Amino acid sequence: MSAIVAENLSKHWTTADGEVRAVDRLSFSFDQGTLNVLLGPSGCGKSTTLRLIAGLELADGGRVSIAGRDVTDLPPSQRNISMVFQSYALFPHLSVGENIVFGLKVRKVTPADVGRRLARVADLLGLSQLLDRKPSQLSGGQQQRVALGRAIISEAPVCLMDEPLSNLDAQLRQDMRAEIRNLQRELGITMVYVTHDQIEAMSMADTIVLLNRGGIEQNAAPVDLYENPANTFVARFIGTPPMNLLPLVAGAGGAVIAGTDGPVLLPAGCAGGMLGVRPEHIAIAQDRGVPATVQGVEYLGADSLVSCRIGSAAIAVRVAGNSGLAAGAGTRLAWAPGAQHVFDRAGRRVAADGVHQTATLYA
């Protein structure tokens, strides 16, 4: 059964400079016990979507249901959810323990039960020694755990998180990612997790909903987003560095990369569209491939990032170790036919069997 279903969910704001369609007819459904990430650039409507699920905003159109129950018109407290805010929203005058059990007290859970659940959650999150402290006496990571504790002690089947790690430093963020993922699996929670960080999304998610300007660009598993981006927006958003997108023009005998006379890479029908290849799928070759000029090399240790130019298009190549290339050198770039993504004029993916690939170039 789907734990969360949104149908044509919409929300717009009227601001001084016109109407903002923050969430524009979104439909998605999340399975029970999965971790679902709402991903997208800043201002694309992730937080608004999450707040619509939580009931902190009222939808202008569409429905939300949680665990098969239509909750569109219910207040947050009746939706059986918990939430972790980006700012943590801890009560500064209450101790860690009081913060965690705030909701249990509201719901008049018996003191014995409160004590038992607090002990378990504190133990789970390593907060047992800190229960009497005030939030201001904790580090950022510890505050984050308290917020997490307040969410999971309610034992709500759905947990919503809005950029919960964005105030932490890089190392801590990585640790917390794994920890949140483990907690979610262990407790069997259905989680909706908002982030603008695609690495965070890729490493944690069961499914990713990639949003842009209030609409869904692609809703798929991380591996699908990486291997089969639905359009150029997704291709550019996923991967570090992102996929190279080379504009195609009509040349003699087929489509060539803009600014070159060949070789012909794709049938003439593809001209006007884009050819996409990920930097990690390109190899530096001597005897085959497309001629290119090296523009710069960024040495990263385990690998190097070589920026090249083919015709008028820039293209990044990731090679293992030290490339041994210098700026200004000429080289050739080759990639396997399967690594090639083709997009039409509108930026939509063209299915592989719709393209007669000229495989001769690649070995």
Partner 1 sequence: MTRTAQWAYAWLMLLPAMALLALFTHYPAAATAWHSFNSTPKGARSAVFVGLDNYRQLVDDPVFWQALSNNFWFALYTIPASIALSLLMATWVNGKVAGRGFLRLAYFTPTILPMIAVANIWMFFYTPEYGLLEQVLGAFGAPSHNWLGSKSTALPAIMVVTVWKEAGFFMIFYLAALQSMSPNLAEAAAIEGASRWHFFRRVTLPLLMPTTLFVLVNAVINAFRMVDHIVVMTRGGPDNATALLLYYIYEIGFRFWDSAYAAALTMVLLAILGLLALAQFGFLERRVHYR
Give the interface with Mg ion as residue ranges (CB under 5 A). Answer: 47
Question: To which residue do tokens 């015709």 refer?
Answer: 311
Both tokens assigned to 191: 């989680």
Is the distance from CB of 243 to CB of 278 less than 8 angstroms?
A: yes
Contacts 24+ apart (CB under 8 A), 295-300: 295/327, 296/327, 297/323, 297/325, 297/326, 297/327, 299/323
Closer Cβ to partner 1, 27 or 87, answer by number: 87
Residue 246 is inside which H or E element, if any?
Answer: strand 244-251
Nearer to partner 1, 81 or 317 (CB): 81
- To the nearest 10 degrees (0 to 180), the angle between helices 170-187 and 140-152 is 10
Indicate the residue among 135 and 279 with the shorter CB distance to partner 1.
Answer: 135
Q: What span, in angstroms and rounded, lies between the C-alpha atoms of 127 and 137?
A: 13
Interaction residues for partner 1, span 30-89 (CB under 8 A): 54, 56, 75-77, 81-83, 85, 87, 89
Q: Does 92 bind partner 1 (CB under 8 A)?
A: yes
Residues touching ligand ADP, count (CB under 6 A): 12
Q: Which does 136 bind (CB under 5 to 8 A by kind): partner 1, ligand ADP, Mg ion, none?
A: partner 1
Angle (deg, nearest 10), helices 111-125 and 140-152: 140
Per-residue binder mask for ligand ADP (CB under 6 A), 12-51, x = binder: -x-x----x-x-----------------x-xxxxxxx---
Report d(CA 180, CA 204) in Å as an integer: 9
Cβ distance to Mg ion smaller for residue 47 or 232? 47
Does residue 106 touch partner 1 according to CB under 8 A? yes
Least gap, CB of 157 to ligand ADP (angstroms): 24
CB of 91 to partner 1, least distance (A): 6
**Of the two residues 26 and 189, which places its CB atom closer to ligand ADP in the complex?**
26
Using CB under 8 A, which residues numbered 110 to 149 contact partner 1?
134, 136
The rounded distance, in Å, linking the Cα atoms of 32 and 186 is 13
Whose structure tokens read 């799928």?
Answer: 281
Shortest distance (Å) from residue 22 CB to Mg ion: 10
Question: Do residues 317 and 279 make contact, with C-beta atoms less than 8 angstroms apart?
Answer: yes
Shortest Å, Cβ 317 to ligand ADP: 32
Give residue for tokens 């550019």.
236
Which is nearer to ligand ADP, 52 or 334 (by Cβ)? 52
Interface contacts to ligand ADP, rule CB under 6 A: 13, 15, 20, 22, 40, 42-48
